[in-house]
Amino acid sequence: MMNKEITMLDVTLRDGSHSMRHAFTEQQVRDVARGLEKAGIPYFEVSHGDGLGGSSLQYGFSRVDELKLIAAAREESANSKISVLILPGIGTRKDLENAASAGANMVRVATHITEADVAKQHIELSRNLGLETVGFLMMAHMAPTSVLIEQAKKLESYGAEIVYMTDSAGALLPHEVTEKVTALRENISCKIGFHAHNNLSLAMANTIAAVEAGAEFVDGSLRCLGAGSGNTQTEVMAAVFSRLGYKTGVDLYSVMDAANDVVAKFMPRPQEITGSSLIMGYSGVYSSFLLFAQEAAERYGVDEREILVQLGQMQAVGGQEDLIFEVAQQIAKEQAMLVK
């Protein structure tokens, strides 16, 4: 029987940080948090795009300290719970403890699809801190379903209460999502979540497929604000699942107001499927690489699509942002040699 209740988690203030070049102001965070609270969004995420501790030269410095943003969001939220993301190797134990003190209720411990074992200490710490704890498996298209199940079981054994399958590149097709979420449902007992990107214009379709296969948590962002072509659009998701008969507890008009009257006014650009973001989905490239690839292409005078295709062939993953510039430089050298 189809599960008729789902939980929506909004990632505007975390995944959207990529598109905003990590420049959210405290007022923007307060305005978005207030809108999400009014709409009845049960969870929303606040942190640097690359998670707690991500403000750095490699990933991009935040305009405002994320702890201040988490605390501001907490002040605006009487009912909505605040999530944070942490990537082992970027965020530390102290970062997580500070986020909990600032008002976080949930932490999502994110690892590459084949590296769940590095999440053990962070998951155990999260449970000890009394936080709702999620295992977040990124780049799910890069491993067969058997590996996904193996890694999900590890996360569950460490204490994860929810395990997310994350289509970080926006590369999965609906039938692949159905297969993978069905396998998760058959092999783990904790709740299942799904996080999509829209690089192939399939975020909403994939989110529906995930829910129909048994996912109980689904992510979205207002106006699709997120890395690459963005995420499943929160306000659209609220409307679609209402039409499908699912209970989300989200007020459609209020979440539309948050999207159109708040987020739309500070977005640096529309979240379109451009040639480059399309190539990201087609080649299976991490969505947060988009702005780095554009910068590298401009610096070295090469086609950013060529950079992304090569990164896809190399199976580059988050944390290898410096590789983007190396690839661009090599392409430029090769092109210069051809001219000679």
Domain boundary among 266, 292, 309: 266
Closest listed residue to residue 40, CA positions, set 235, 243, 240: 235
Domain identity same for 207 and 331: no
Is the whole model's pTM more than 0.75, yes or no? Answer: yes
Q: By residue range, what is the domain housing residue 131?
A: 7-266
Can you state the percent helix, strand and coil of the chain, rounding each to 5?
50, 15, 35
Question: Looking at the domain assignment, is residue 2 inside a domain?
Answer: no
Q: In a 3-state reduction of DSSP, which class is residue 48?
A: coil
Domain identity same for 76 and 174: yes
Domain identity same for 237 and 287: no
Catalytic residue among 18, 22, 112, 122: 18
Residue ranges at the known binding site for substrate: 14-15, 168, 195, 286
Residue ranges at the known binding site for Mn(2+): 15, 195, 197
Question: Looking at the domain assignment, is residue 1 inside a domain?
Answer: no
125-176 per-position pLDDT tens digit: 999 999 999 999 999 999 999 999 999 999 999 999 999 999 999 999 999 9
Pair 130, 94: CB distance under 8 Å: no
Of residues 157 and 4, the one with the higher pLDDT is: 157
Identify whether 18 is a catalytic site residue: yes
Pair 45, 9: CB distance under 8 Å: yes
Q: How confident is the model at residue 276 (pLDDT cuts 50, 70, 90)?
A: confident
The domain that holds 295 is classified in CATH as: 1.10.8.60
